[in-house]
Amino acid sequence: MYSPISGAESNEYELRAPGDVPRQVVSAPKQAGLLAKWSVFGALLITTTLSSVLVVAHVQSWLINDTWYQFWFLSIRINRAALQSGIQIIAVLLGLIHASAVAYLVQYGVSLAFFSGTSFTTHSLRAMINTSTQTVNWKGPPRYMLPVLGMSVLSLISSALWVGAITPVESSTIVKQTVLIPSYDNITHIKEYPSEINKSGPSDMAKEGHFTYSVGTKLLGNLIVIGSSATTPDNSTRRHPKIDNTQYIYEGRSYGVGSAVGLKDSAVSNISFATGYRYTERGYSADVECIYNRSTALKIGREFPSRIFAVEGYLPDSTGSRQYSEYVGHSPDAIVAASVTYSDDSVRRYVGIAAGASYRALNATQCTVDFTPRLFNVSVALAGRNITVTPLDETDDFDPQRNITRTVVRQFELISNDLTNFYESVLGNAFLSSIRAWNISYNANGAATEEFATLRGLENSMTAMADSMLAAYGAAQVMVGNFTDEREVDVTVETLVIGQRAYIIAVAILNAFIVAAVIEEAIRTKGWRGLSSQDFTDSEWLLLSGYRGGQEAAESERHRLHYLNNIQRKPVGKPGFSTSQFSPGEVRVGMGLETRVVLVPATSGRDGRMVVKLSTRVK
């Protein structure tokens, strides 16, 4: 009966089959075929296959590299807008499959209930129709809009997740390769060579730079620059170039390793889209500590002969005779003498400094240099040509006789002697430059004493120079002596991966929920048994059903009125009225009889269609 629902809005009605309408014997409704039921859900095979492949690809770390990477990389950079548009279209289609599957689940459920005689309100039926057709209609109570909005949001969310799951994104992978690094099994060339011409150590000039075993005399310019810039005035990480032409720059300390970078690593640099590599290398960590030794015996002597000043005295590690060297100058004021004993017995190395009046702050300073054998991690960034060295654990000494470290420290004496002239000491100037930078960076308020600042700046300068000299000997081993070891390195190569982890997982979970819902509903309804082939959401079908149902209802009413034989057929206020003119929702009142047009979900009807019938009752 077509009657208002208690407590509902004034225009909301319940649709139910009236019991007082005579039954008609009609044919059974036509059921939907197998293809019609499952065609939409079959599209879930596409999303299920794709989401499964994406998950497997992520777990197995499938990558797009080499030629394919170059193709995709160029495509992304040149045709970014077109590629993104294509991805958006594909994502919308995949999201449409998800939304359609859920919409058809709703439609099938409502259709089974509708054609089985379940009662619906007009608003709830409209909400179900809008949900299954994904149509937003802002009319009606808000509670009926939630399913419609939920379906619309599902489509948007699914499409957005698919965009993130199928968009190629930049990634990286690690491949193994081999490079050459210095070997110290043969160190016969690493020794002190005289400063005299034609008596220097083995050297070689190549496009990569100048490589020599006479580090303290042939690489003076580089070492002085390194010593003077050892302390940064802004307290930032020190950046300094390698002593060659490779244009690589160390970020922080070099610790004397990484010397072969840019020299014997073509196997890595030739890899397409390689961004960097890393490996471990043995080396020495030079730890410098400086003090003022006011009781030192190291002194600048008197002038003899003309313009020649002797610097002599004992150092803590001197064995046998005292240290002796000669410096030139108009006076002793411009002399900075760094004396180093030539001792095979001491593991710790000492550097004593005697300075004239122009470099008074450096006079009587004494530095110890401890070399600790360690493993170092060397990380190389190919694009920026940066080298970062990180100390690792201590290791066995690869030069137990300490020939390398002794030779390195002895270079300070050669440098100080060679770079002292009549007017100034170039090495002394480098030390003072580092000291001034330390004051700017760490002593802006003047809290530290001059002596403290001098020692800290001197330590930084000597540490940087010792590191660079170790690296210079390593490069000479590679380029001049050809003493090398093979070392396996981890090369980082740019690649592309399809999608990001979070989006791939989200899409896979969403797809699994939808597939599970389809399977569960198919089992519950036994494959949607009894599903009518008629679509109650089709407006054309509703109109035709209403028209045919109206004809049947009118014919049934005529028979009933004739049977009752007590009804005036002429309607109130409308001459010439006939029951075939009834329309849904109208109320006609005759003598003793009220007639309503009722929309009835039929369990049977002509060709399985819904019919609109008339319901009457005696007043």
Domain boundaries, the chain: 34-167+499-539, 174-495
**What pLDDT, on the 0 to 100 scale, is given for residue 590?**
40
Contacts of 45 (CB under 8 A, 6+ apart): none
Q: How far apart are CA 505 and CA 511, in angstroms?
A: 10
The torsion angles phi and psi of 598, rounded to 5 degrees, stand at -120, 130
**What pLDDT, on the 0 to 100 scale, is given for residue 557?**
64
Q: How far apart are CA 111 and CA 109, in angstroms?
A: 5
Task: Look at residues 537, 473, 410 and name the one whose alpha carbon lies nearest to residue 181.
Answer: 473
Residues in the chain: 619
Residues facing residue 337 across a β-bridge: 354
Q: What is the mean pLDDT of each run of 10 residues along the chain (619 residues)?
A: 39 40 46 71 91 89 65 66 85 90 81 66 66 64 70 84 88 88 94 79 93 93 94 91 95 96 90 90 96 92 88 86 88 93 75 95 95 96 95 94 91 92 94 95 89 96 97 96 95 85 93 92 82 65 64 66 49 41 41 42 43 42
Instruction: Write the Ramachandran bin of 178: left for phi over 0, alpha for psi from -120 to 50, otherwise beta.
Output: beta
Angle between helix 44-59 and helix 501-524 axes, rounded to 10 deg: 140
Element (H, E) at 56: helix 44-59
Q: How far apart are CA 604 and CA 176, in angstroms?
A: 74
Q: If DSSP codes are grouped into helix, strand and coil, which group holds residue 204?
A: strand
**What pLDDT, on the 0 to 100 scale, is given for residue 387?**
97
**What pLDDT, on the 0 to 100 scale, is given for residue 499?**
84
Q: Within a 10 A sphere around the Cβ of 586, how many other Cβ atoms?
A: 12
CA distances from 253 to 338, 370, 466 (A): 23, 16, 11
pTM, to two decimals: 0.68
The torsion angles phi and psi of 402, rounded to 5 degrees, stand at 55, 35
**What pLDDT, on the 0 to 100 scale, is given for residue 548?**
65
CA distances from 151 to 98, 101, 135, 139, 146 (A): 10, 11, 9, 17, 9
The torsion angles phi and psi of 120, rounded to 5 degrees, stand at -135, 150
Task: Look at residues 140, 417, 214, 183 and name the one whose alpha carbon lies nearest to residue 300.
Answer: 417
**What pLDDT, on the 0 to 100 scale, is given for residue 156?**
86
Q: If DSSP codes are grouped into helix, strand and coil, which group holds residue 199?
A: coil
Task: Look at residues 397, 328, 343, 340 and name the one whose alpha carbon lies nearest to residue 367.
Answer: 340
Task: Look at residues 121, 107, 92 and name the one whose alpha carbon lies nearest to residue 5.
Answer: 121
